[in-house]
Amino acid sequence: MCLLFDRLMDERNDARQALATAQTEVTGLREAARISGEMLADRDDIDRTRTEALNHALFENSELQRAVGTGRQRLRVNAVCRVADPEQARTGRVADAGTAELATDARPDYFALRDQLALSKEMILGLQDHVRRICLR
For the stretch 77-111, pLDDT in tens is 777 666 566 565 555 555 555 667 778 888 999 99
Distance CA(88)–CA(127), nearest Å, equals 55
Is residue 127 predicted with pLDDT exceeding 90?
A: yes
- Within 10 Å of residue 46's Cβ, how many Cβ atoms? 19
Is 46 among the domain residues? yes
Distance CA(75)–CA(78), nearest Å, equals 10
Give residue 81's identity as a one-letter amino acid code: C
Is 117 among the domain residues? yes
121 in Cβ contact with 61 (< 8 Å): no
Helix or strand or coil: residue 3?
helix
Backbone angles phi, psi at 76, to 5 degrees: -100, 150
Total number of domains constituting the chain: 1
pLDDT in tens, 2-11: 788 888 899 9
Is 24 among the domain residues? no
- pTM of the predicted structure, to 2 decimals: 0.68
Give residue 34's identity as a one-letter amino acid code: R
Q: How many residues does the structure list for the chain?
A: 137
Is 45 among the domain residues? yes
CB within 8 Å of 97: residues ≥ 6 apart: 81, 83
Is residue 124 predicted with pLDDT exceeding 70?
A: yes
Range of the domain at 128: 41-73+103-137
Is 89 among the domain residues? no
